Amino acid sequence: MLIVMNHEATDEQIEAVVKKIRDHGLDVNVSRGVERTIIGAVGEERKLEPEMFDPMPGVDYSMHIVKPYKIVAREWHKADTVIDIKGVKLGGPQIQVIGGPCSVETQEQMDLSAQFVAEAGCRLMRGGAFKPRTSPYAFQGKGVEGLDMFRRAADKFRLPIVTELMDVRMLDTFLEYGVDVIQIGTRNMQNFDLLKEVGRISTPVILKRGMSATISEWLMAAEYIAAGGNHNIIFCERGIRTFETAYRNVLDVTAIPMLKKETHLPVIIDPSHAGGKAWMVPALSRAAVAAGADGLLIEMHPNPCEAWCDADQALSPAELKNLMATLRGVATAIGRSA
Amino acid sequence: MLIVMNHEATDEQIEAVVKKIRDHGLDVNVSRGVERTIIGAVGEERKLEPEMFDPMPGVDYSMHIVKPYKIVAREWHKADTVIDIKGVKLGGPQIQVIGGPCSVETQEQMDLSAQFVAEAGCRLMRGGAFKPRTSPYAFQGKGVEGLDMFRRAADKFRLPIVTELMDVRMLDTFLEYGVDVIQIGTRNMQNFDLLKEVGRISTPVILKRGMSATISEWLMAAEYIAAGGNHNIIFCERGIRTFETAYRNVLDVTAIPMLKKETHLPVIIDPSHAGGKAWMVPALSRAAVAAGADGLLIEMHPNPCEAWCDADQALSPAELKNLMATLRGVATAIGRSA
Amino acid sequence: MLIVMNHEATDEQIEAVVKKIRDHGLDVNVSRGVERTIIGAVGEERKLEPEMFDPMPGVDYSMHIVKPYKIVAREWHKADTVIDIKGVKLGGPQIQVIGGPCSVETQEQMDLSAQFVAEAGCRLMRGGAFKPRTSPYAFQGKGVEGLDMFRRAADKFRLPIVTELMDVRMLDTFLEYGVDVIQIGTRNMQNFDLLKEVGRISTPVILKRGMSATISEWLMAAEYIAAGGNHNIIFCERGIRTFETAYRNVLDVTAIPMLKKETHLPVIIDPSHAGGKAWMVPALSRAAVAAGADGLLIEMHPNPCEAWCDADQALSPAELKNLMATLRGVATAIGRSA
Amino acid sequence: MLIVMNHEATDEQIEAVVKKIRDHGLDVNVSRGVERTIIGAVGEERKLEPEMFDPMPGVDYSMHIVKPYKIVAREWHKADTVIDIKGVKLGGPQIQVIGGPCSVETQEQMDLSAQFVAEAGCRLMRGGAFKPRTSPYAFQGKGVEGLDMFRRAADKFRLPIVTELMDVRMLDTFLEYGVDVIQIGTRNMQNFDLLKEVGRISTPVILKRGMSATISEWLMAAEYIAAGGNHNIIFCERGIRTFETAYRNVLDVTAIPMLKKETHLPVIIDPSHAGGKAWMVPALSRAAVAAGADGLLIEMHPNPCEAWCDADQALSPAELKNLMATLRGVATAIGRSA
């Protein structure tokens, strides 16, 4: 923690800051510069917060020097974490594509989806039983019935299933149905009570980035889960909110190398929600893999035009198959497989 | 709903769109222009979504013409809604200032806070028993014990209490303690299960704007509450996330006239979280009142430097008192009282 | 300048940084903490840049401690600067409203505008002869002929004139026509050659904030002008670009107290461009004055519906008159006049 | 152009809008819906602007239906435009990497740079003689002397040169030195006078995206150049400004497929300025190529630690060579070469 005094700070004001740091059990380093005196707190600085010093007389501003996250940080855990999902390894040399429809609609739609997903070469399947919809009047998902349809369809093709948990009261049901990967959606990235609950179990969690969450906030949200004991966390970038209106979100591809540097946990990309249009998905998927993503979350539908939600962003079975072929080429070019 | 065809759309493609609209029971208006054919769906267009048409061949883009919200819209409810909180009227000519500490710490701190809040002339009190914190290692609030302290302190001065609900499982407890206004925080603006639950009761709800929520998303979040039957909704702008790093958030003062035009419900401002520094609060508070806000949510502390959270943004009792005096002057200048 | 080493930095790496600082003639303070060693450069740190240290082995990151601006900073110039524009004082207790049309159209339109502006009680007039338009096919302004019309109209009512300079080659013409205040538009805030040129003269300059310029970049743009010798600089906030689409820009009212703290120069607001709609202008104007703005730049037109540009954001003469009356009330409430 | 009336619009108000459209020589289509009447202007709608209708009584809002750009639009020019730069083809199957230092420093530095750029396999060279710097106190470039050094160094290796033009008064000098590609920087994307001037010549122009320019504004800025007669325009995405502070900008990879759809002109990426750090450049470069970029603008330096500007983002000669090898692999995977 550093406290930067303003250039007119008096000795008494400097002393008061020094005393406050010492009262918290840390040592102090004072550097008197030409324009500013800077006071450094030496020791376990995570005990201190800038807000403890900013309102003190003579203080210009203060800031942390060390990162606020620990368990998820690569700084303290050098090796890549590889998460094993019923034998499918995420975070290693092989890139995993998780395909499936936006929402569970009917048993037939799920059966067909599972078949096409498996045929395209995907090793994991996605599908939403509980849907976060902007409008209360829109289709809200099939609920528990949908979980059941999903489980049946995926089991036929031995595909582990990924589905979103919105309500903390549904966690037990998710465990009953043996959901293989629990997805925490964009709007719940800082739903701290939900994070604490999934921190208590060991099921892998895909933590989607909040619409305008910083990398630091996102890592701290993961730290909530990790602090509870669940270290099986997968980051999923799904486009951020910016000023641009020509597409739904901006896929933040820069987040990939940054996360790979800051954390040892796997990073995947959702190109379907990022661009919001099916025709953009191949370009964004290739970019994500080329930038180092460990996996992709891709929406497909046996018949996109008839999808009950996000019809404009689902790939057709044929498009998914073609995409998988191209991704293998890109993966090879960077020394990985897909 | 309008569907704009691209300039090479064939008659068959236009026919397919027309048919899809008719299949949903709406009428059609086709306008063949020089560069584009535009197809209008005439009828209850809320049944349709752009995503139903965007993937069809020949379609350039499509869009809603009417607003997606109904109950909260001023279009269908001209008069201002005034919410009665134990006799304190919010949304009428009198501006209401809700003062209190960021978090409940001790009984003594709450007793002192309540006294100073009442003395300054505020008619409602705020305080957090459950705190949404970015870090899992930070103070998370006193919980139910805090609710109890808050209730006792406020009752002495007959101040209705405002406090944040984060976890849907805590709603019954909130009702037991007679929380007068339930606050839904920024990070939960689109926690749809929580919105549905507070929609089932009649306690007034302060719905804070999501960090980067659009006005339309915010109105739709309120529509979730309203659709459940609870029309006692108060919008609270608390600063939005932008590129600027010189202050925590940007207080979106433009949202005030826009909301007053779009909805009949009251609009208040939280200048403390917007700026993030106590010294900015007076300027932002005056701006909010001048722009037409119906109330303010202001953090104060009997001894700001010792506050357990957000110490740098709390006003001292003296500062709160001074601010109330200035606000009365500004309110008078625009024909209101404070 | 502080250089934060990563937690595995070796003594040799620390030594290399220390040497580089000393080579530039500054002293060094080394603080060895538990997780990090921090190296402080003591002396005239503006000679150094983070980019000089960031690529060095063992460095985590580095940053400036002092602000990069000097002449415009209140830190070194406590008193408010009041700019005298032909006897009209901007930056003192009296708030100045600069009224006028978006663009110069005809002599008659300018004569009427000047009359209405003066009658409403404004003491300065605005009008664009050269217009920055997004489309090359839109009306680009009347040019020099427009300057002439503006000068004639304003002189009848002894109103000093404010107009935008886009092209550096036009500066001499502006001086010939005796433009009283030169406006540098949003899109030119970092047109450094233009800033250098207006830095060489003494005519007051209104420096509009770039669409997404940070406070720091804006102050540095002013420093460009000031470094050339022209200290008559007026900051003008005109709305920033955000994710919100319900209005053109978000008026950044938080910038007002922040700028008043950081600089001694006057700060004005352009509520017309911020909101983009005439009906929002009164609310935004009142907010700006209440937050401490020294002036306003307001678009009006003798007949808004017929304006050649930005017709939807111009006030009518009657609306301008009403607004001026309200602003006087708000100004009085905060101890100023208008 | 569509004009959406509010639901209480009277027949007189609808008539007034219809009349205004007809007065401009366009036809009218009126669609009376359940909640809204929508008026369509049929004909050359680029003559009309929403601001002409928005202030009229009874109008809710109005909007363009067709895109405002024409010459640069793929809608009217299906085939990809390939720009020939002294025999190097940009926009075709071969991806072009433009390498070179941030700024021209010395003849020796430029000679070495040119040699390393050529050895790495780049076919074009970049380098700044005039530098847009945030601070007036920072190194502003070597100016004309720098142009001369650049020309000499590049000629030895027959590399066409790319350099930034900031001041319109320097254009003749650029032509004298035979600059092969003129770069318009981020801060000048809407410097309309500069755009008009480069529109009058035939030298290819790299038009960088403004820091927070929308795709539409960017295309319109290109339309300014094209409208003057110069159709040799190359779009360069260089990262956009968002709320994220972990990296300088967010590389907007979604802009690549979007631009390739909207315009026939080439699109390149500047990964150096996007991320702001050399270690991010390889990942971002691969992503850009995988997403369909036609070229890259990459900063390198014979000795990055000693660079006079942006030292932290320049690749070393060895890093550039390695990157070129990987890019060839990615290009092959998507059916192109590099």
- Tens digit of each residue's pLDDT (9 = 90 or more) over D53-102: 988 899 999 999 888 899 999 988 999 999 999 999 999 999 999 999 99
Question: What are the phi and psi torsion angles at B89 (to 5°)?
Answer: -100, 120
Which residues of chain C make contact with B245, given a CB cutoff of 8 A? 214
Which residues of chain C make contact with D169, given a CB cutoff of 8 A? 168-169, 193
Q: CA of C41: how far to CAs of A134, B243, C28, D11, in Å? A: 52, 29, 5, 74
Q: Count Cβ–Cβ pairs < 8 Å, chain C vs chain D.
A: 107
> How does strand D83-85 pair with strand D88-90?
antiparallel
Q: What residues of chain A, 159 to 188, have a C-beta less than 8 Å from chain D? A: none
> What confidence category does residue B231 fall into, taking pLDDT thresholds of 50, 70 and 90?
very high
Q: Nearest-CA neighbor of B147 among B188, B194, B183, B95? A: B183
Mean of pLDDT over chain C: 95
User: Residue C35: which of A6, A66, A245 has the nearest Cβ?
Assistant: A66
The pLDDT assigned to C298 comes to 97
Which residue on chain D is closest to B35 by alpha carbon?
Answer: D66
Lowest mean pLDDT among C25-34, C256-265, D227-236: C25-34
By the CB < 8 Å criterion, does B112 face chain A?
no
Do B220 and A135 lie within an 8 Å CB cutoff?
yes
The pLDDT assigned to D305 comes to 83
Do D65 and B7 lie within an 8 Å CB cutoff?
no
Q: Nearest-CA neighbor of C206 among C125, C148, C300? A: C125
State in Å, rounded, how far the first CA of chain A is from the last one.
44
Mean pLDDT, rounded, for B299-327: 92
Do D33 and B243 lie within an 8 Å CB cutoff?
no
Q: What angle do CA D166, D172, D174 make, to 5 degrees?
A: 60
The pLDDT assigned to C51 comes to 86
Which residues of chain C make contact with B215, given a CB cutoff of 8 A? 244, 246
Mean pLDDT, rounded, for B178-184: 98
The pLDDT assigned to B161 comes to 98
pLDDT over 80 (residue D34)? no
Q: Which fold has domain C74-333?
A: TIM Barrel (3.20.20)
- Tens digit of each residue's pLDDT (9 = 90 or more) over D130-148: 999 988 988 899 999 999 9
Which residues of chain A make contact with B207, given a CB cutoff of 8 A? none
The pLDDT assigned to C185 comes to 97
Select the residue from A5, A8, A26, A29 to test the C interface by mutation, using most C Cβ atoms within 10 A: A29
Select the residue from D254, D284, D337 to test the A interface by mutation, using most A Cβ atoms within 10 A: D254
- Tens digit of each residue's pLDDT (9 = 90 or more) over A241-298: 999 999 999 999 999 999 999 999 999 999 999 988 999 999 999 999 999 999 999 9
* Better-predicted residue by pLDDT, D31 or A109: A109
Mean pLDDT, rounded, for B219-247: 97
User: Residue C51: which of D217, D224, D311 has the nearest Cβ?
Assistant: D311
Neighbours of chain D (3+ CB pairs under 8 A): A, B, C
Distance of CA A312 to the CA centre of its chain: 23
Q: What residues of chain D, 46 to 85, have a C-beta less than 8 Å from chain B? A: 65-66, 75
The pLDDT assigned to C25 comes to 92
pLDDT over 90 (residue D325)? yes
Question: What are the phi and psi torsion angles at D37 (to 5°)?
Answer: -105, 135
pLDDT over 80 (residue B132)? yes
By the CB < 8 Å criterion, does A280 face chain B?
no
Which residue on chain B is closest to C276 by alpha carbon?
Answer: B254
By the CB < 8 Å criterion, does D245 face chain B?
yes
Neighbours of chain C (3+ CB pairs under 8 A): A, B, D
- Tens digit of each residue's pLDDT (9 = 90 or more) over B90-126: 999 999 999 999 999 999 999 999 999 999 999 999 9
Distance from CA of B334 to the nearest CA of C (A): 7
Question: What is the percent of chain B where pLDDT is above 90?
Answer: 85
Query: For residues C242 and B211, what is the distance between their CA atoms, to the nearest angstrom?
Result: 12
Which residue on chain D is closest to B44 by alpha carbon?
Answer: D34
The pLDDT assigned to C91 comes to 98
Select the residue from C69, C167, C299, C301 to test the D interface by mutation, using most D Cβ atoms within 10 A: C167
Distance from CA of A94 to the nearest CA of B (A): 32
Distance of CA C128 to the CA centre of its chain: 17
By the CB < 8 Å criterion, does A245 face chain B?
no
pLDDT over 90 (residue D312)? no
Which residues of chain A make contact with C58, given a CB cutoff of 8 A? none
Mean of pLDDT over chain D: 95
Which residues of chain A make contact with D235, given a CB cutoff of 8 A? none
- Tens digit of each residue's pLDDT (9 = 90 or more) over C190-232: 999 999 999 999 999 999 999 999 999 999 999 999 999 999 9
The pLDDT assigned to D71 comes to 96
Write the CATH number of the domain with boundaries C2-63: 3.30.70.1140
Which residues of chain C make contact with B291, given a CB cutoff of 8 A? 283-284, 286-287, 290
Question: Residue C105 in contact with residue C128, Cβ under 8 Å?
Answer: no
Give the strand order in the sheet containing D2-5: D27-32, D37-42, D2-5, D59-63
pTM of the complete model beyond 0.90: yes
- Tens digit of each residue's pLDDT (9 = 90 or more) over C32-86: 877 789 999 988 888 888 888 988 899 999 999 888 899 999 988 999 999 999 9
Do C46 and D137 lie within an 8 Å CB cutoff?
yes
Q: Nearest-CA neighbor of A336 among A296, A297, A298, A294? A: A294
Q: What contacts C172, CB < 8 A, 6 or more positions away?
A: none
Which residues of chain B make contact with D45, given a CB cutoff of 8 A? 33
Q: What residues of chain D, 249 to 278, have a C-beta less than 8 Å from chain C? A: 277-278
Q: Count Cβ–Cβ pairs < 8 Å, chain B vs chain C.
A: 130
User: Residue C7: which of A29, A75, A243 has the nearest Cβ?
Assistant: A75
- The SS3 call for residue D223 is helix
* Better-predicted residue by pLDDT, A47 or B181: B181
Q: What contacts B205, CB < 8 A, 6 or more positions away?
A: B181, B182, B183, B184, B198, B225, B230, B232, B233, B234
The pLDDT assigned to A310 comes to 78
Reading the block at residue A91, the tokens are 């975070």
Question: Residue A235 in contact with residue A225, Cβ under 8 Å?
Answer: no
Which residues of chain A make contact with B143, given a CB cutoff of 8 A? none
Q: If 0-12 CB within 10 Å is exposed, 13-18 middle and 19+ buried, where does residue A80 land?
A: middle
Question: What are the phi and psi torsion angles at B154 (to 5°)?
Answer: -65, -35
Question: Residue B295 in contact with residue B85, Cβ under 8 Å?
Answer: no
Question: What is the percent of chain A where pLDDT is above 90?
Answer: 85
Which residues of chain D make contact with A238, given a CB cutoff of 8 A? none
User: Residue A51: which of B134, B168, B310 has the nearest Cβ?
Assistant: B310
Identify the H or E element spanning A233.
Answer: strand A233-237
> What confidence category does residue B139 fall into, taking pLDDT thresholds of 50, 70 and 90?
confident
By the CB < 8 Å criterion, does C322 face chain B?
no
By the CB < 8 Å criterion, does A33 face chain C?
yes
Distance of CA C248 to the CA centre of its chain: 18
Which residue on chain C is closest to A44 by alpha carbon?
Answer: C34
Domain with CATH 3.30.70.1140 in chain C: 2-63
Do A55 and B310 lie within an 8 Å CB cutoff?
no
Domain with CATH 3.20.20.70 in chain D: 74-333
> Is this prediction's ipTM beyond 0.90?
yes
> What confidence category does residue C173 fall into, taking pLDDT thresholds of 50, 70 and 90?
very high
- Tens digit of each residue's pLDDT (9 = 90 or more) over C264-314: 999 999 999 998 899 999 999 999 999 999 999 999 999 988 888 877 899
Residue spans of beta strands (DSSP E) within chain B = 2-5, 27-32, 37-42, 59-63, 83-85, 88-90, 96-100, 124-126, 161-164, 181-184, 205-208, 233-237, 267-269, 295-299
Which residues of chain A make contact with D244, given a CB cutoff of 8 A? 214-215, 240, 252
- Tens digit of each residue's pLDDT (9 = 90 or more) over D172-207: 999 999 999 999 999 999 999 999 999 999 999 999
By the CB < 8 Å criterion, does A247 face chain D?
yes
Query: For residues C238 and C252, what is the distance between their CA atoms, to the nearest angstrom?
Result: 8
Mean pLDDT, rounded, for C228-256: 97
